[in-house]
Amino acid sequence: MTMTVERLAEVIRLHKLWQICDPAGVRANLNYANLEDANLEGANLFRADLNYANLVDANLEDANLEGANLVGANLVGANLVGANLFRADLFRADLNCAKLVDANLEDANLEGANLFRADLNYANLFRADLNCAKLVDANLEDANLEGANLVGANLVRANLVDADLEGANLVGANLVGANLDRADLFGANLDRTALPDGVRIVTASGVGSANRKTMYRADTDTVCCGCFTGTLDEFSAKVDESHKDNPVHLAHYRAMVVFFRAYRDVK
């Protein structure tokens, strides 16, 4: 049975009082609640309990769901544009076709969540846990996935154009058919990652005074090393200029350039 508008308004009113430590306040308990098609635009549901709630097609645009418990929640088709889901628990939540444009999912738990065809354009997923999440056909264009845990995630045909995946953990992830145009993969862990056809990435570590990792994407002829991003020829010229007075580092970097060129030229 769908919760009445009046009852929902009362739950939210008492929840607001709870947030300011008013003795009359009660933390929102909406576990298993039927909130299909509910209008919760701009609602303040900070740390609310929405465990296994039915929020199909609900309007949660600009809602504050920071720290909310949404474990197993059904958010199919929900509007979460601009919503604040900082540190929200969305373990195994169903976000099929959900709209999460410009949503804040920093440090959110999305382990095992279903994000099939979800729109995450410009979403902030910094350090989010997406372990084994299903992101097939998801739109992640311009999304911030820096430091995100994507171990075993299914990103088949996902749109990752201009996405920031710096330092992301993609061990065992499936990116077959994904669009990685201009995506930043510097420092990402690509061990056993299934990459799209034609995408060729190699890394070298322990070179130079900082022993930093250098990544070379052969299909786009792009080198990322520290603050440098450019072509392999530009990187080679930068190495010769920066390390002309350090023959050891110069020799190491030149050997790496030779390796990258050999990798690029292998057909």
Each residue of 68-78: pLDDT tens digit? 999 999 999 99
Percent of the chain with pLDDT over 70: 99
pLDDT at 163 over 90: yes
SS3 73: coil
pLDDT at 232 over 80: yes
Q: Using 50, 70 and 90 to split pLDDT, how confident is the model at 126?
A: very high
SS3 154: strand
Q: Using 50, 70 and 90 to split pLDDT, how confident is the model at 211?
A: confident
Pairwise pLDDT comparison (80 vs 207), residue with the higher score: 80
The arithmetic mean of pLDDT across residues 72-92, rounded, is: 98
* CA–centroid distance for 262 within its chain: 33
The arithmetic mean of pLDDT across residues 155-182, rounded, is: 97
Helix, strand, coil fractions of the chain, as percent rounded to 5 = 15, 20, 65
Phi (first) and psi of residue 182, to 5 degrees: 60, 15
Count other C-beta atoms under 10 Å from residue 58's C-beta.
Answer: 25
Instruction: Report domain extents, the chain.
Output: 202-265
The angle that helices 232-242 and 247-265 make with each other, rounded to 10 degrees, is 170
Q: Which amino acid is at 109?
A: N
Please identify which residue in the block is written with the tokens 């990435």.
201
Cα–Cα distances (Å) from 265 to 72, 195, 218, 221, 259, in that order, read: 48, 19, 9, 11, 10
The arithmetic mean of pLDDT across residues 107-117, rounded, is: 98
Note every long-range contact of 6-11, with CB atoms under 8 Å and residues 24 or more positions apart, other chains counting: 8/35, 8/38, 8/40
Smallest CA-to-CA distance from 118 within 146, 151, 85 is with: 85
- 115, two tokens: 């994000």
CA-based torsion, 114, 117, 118, 124: positive or negative:
positive
pLDDT at 254 over 70: yes
| Greatest alpha-carbon span in the chain | 76
Task: Indicate the average pLDDT of the chain.
Answer: 95
pLDDT at 195 over 80: yes
Cα–Cα distances (Å) from 185 to 62, 132, 146, in that order, read: 30, 19, 9
